[in-house]
Structure 1
Amino acid sequence: MKIGFIGCGNMATAMIRGILDSKKVTAGEMIASAKSDATREKISRELGICVAGTNSEVVDFADVIFLAVKPQYYEEVIAEIREEIRQDQIIVTIAPGKTLHWLAERLGEDKKIIRTMPNTPAMVKEGMMGMCKNELVTEEEMQQVKEICESFGKAEVVPESLIDVVVGVSGSSPAYVFMFIEAMADAAVADGMPRAQAYKFAAQAVLGSAKMVLETGMHPGALKDMVCSPGGTTIEAVRVLEEKGMRSAVIEASKACVKKGREM
């Protein structure tokens, strides 16, 4: 299977690195296009894959084509490559708001399309991706693409109605988590801890807590209760977080994110 990327920014680069490290395909079986000469040179130098001077070259080369440009460029790029896409190729999108219907209208009703929503932890092979497909993509093809995407994290097939929810809960949420880590570190610095050390303590606490949720299968509320001793320090901190509206702020932020995604 030959894989192509139209666009090679941070997200695409992370995905390509993961795929190469998995050994599912070789560097010679991958190609990417980019607008600038500098980016193309960087792709060749750092990733060792084939470099395309035009998006059409990616379409000519690949069996699976990832559209990895920003959402505002989708219309332009699709118009450029539409007539060159074959019916046996699979188009994989990573943009919020671009529905399977919207994509089929522009790519053609006879094209195989998979819609995905990755996130930036793919850069450290801990990404989370939601995926859905149109009726022309077979289950076997979907599984093949899913396995490719699991090279840089975890992937789950969801109904298209939940893809925008994926944007809120995992696509954009790393930003919320980074803000939380930064805030905890700021508090530690205020109490005298060196900043680099504060980031390490805060980030490791988040990493370990997330791992507990995933590996124990326990409800997050139950895990929280395990830390909250009667009359202790943790329940006092939880009381203040509740008083300041932490849960409501996170819920409203995520809902705003989903709403924006649906409007794009």
Structure 2
Amino acid sequence: MRPNLRQIEAFLAVAEAGNFSRAAAQIGMTQPGISQTIRELEGLLNLRLFDRTTRRVMLTAAGEAFRLGAGKSMEVLDIAVAEAKDQSTLRKGFLRLAAPPFLAATVLPRALAEFQNQHPDLTLEMTDTTTAQIMERVANGQADLGLGTFPPGKQGLGSRVVLRDEMMCFAKTGSVMPEPLGLAALHSAPLIVMSASSALRLPVALGFESAGLHLAPAFEVEQIATALALVEAGLGLAILPGYARAWQGRGVVAHPIAGPLMRREVQLIFAADRSLSPAATAFATHLTQSLRKLAP
């Protein structure tokens, strides 16, 4: 059986104070209580650690040897406790984030910069990659959090919705748009939509289906930035999530679509079998607040 922490603390306090009463007061014990604790420790070690006189308590040779090792152990423990407290208060730690390229290029830089300013001692890492790779990195522990729109039934992954936004129509600046702008009007225009492999395609397809219209896009692309570049070139209208308004000011303007509403969710995913670090928990809250400013 090993000595417990209370026994070690009591031993070191008596060794330093040279007196049971003073040592007891230092660590919040009674004099009988600390005496009993030392007796239990000596019994456990089968060693006499102190020579007791009416005037002073002195370490034996065995006690001196034990103090050397016990003192070093407590120093290591104190360092470990300080490190843990630093992580819990975000004075230390790291955060690894994976996100799709458009979010990584538009929304995340400002959110990460604000978070870094609030917690300058944290180490932040970001990887921009595909949805499938985001899920893989989070599942295997290469990323603490993944941001994006993900398919349902993500085995081994938990999720938290950080934004619910509406799909909007993105047109070249200066384009004359009907009001209200319904799907019937969009149906007759050259449309730019995300490819069938993208989670952003489903709400658009469901919206057209509920309106009794056939979705026949002129362009199908993998990246939001590509869709917006095509809009800017005057090649059509794009139906994209509201947060793509971060691109506005580059020759593209977002217009609300008058029903049926097409909504999608932006989620943070994480490994379901691992607890989030304090840094990841804090960033999830910060990002939720930051992204909701982009909602239509």
TM-score by length of 2: 0.24
TM-score by length of 1: 0.26
Which of the two has higher C-alpha Rg? Answer: 2
Higher helix share: 1
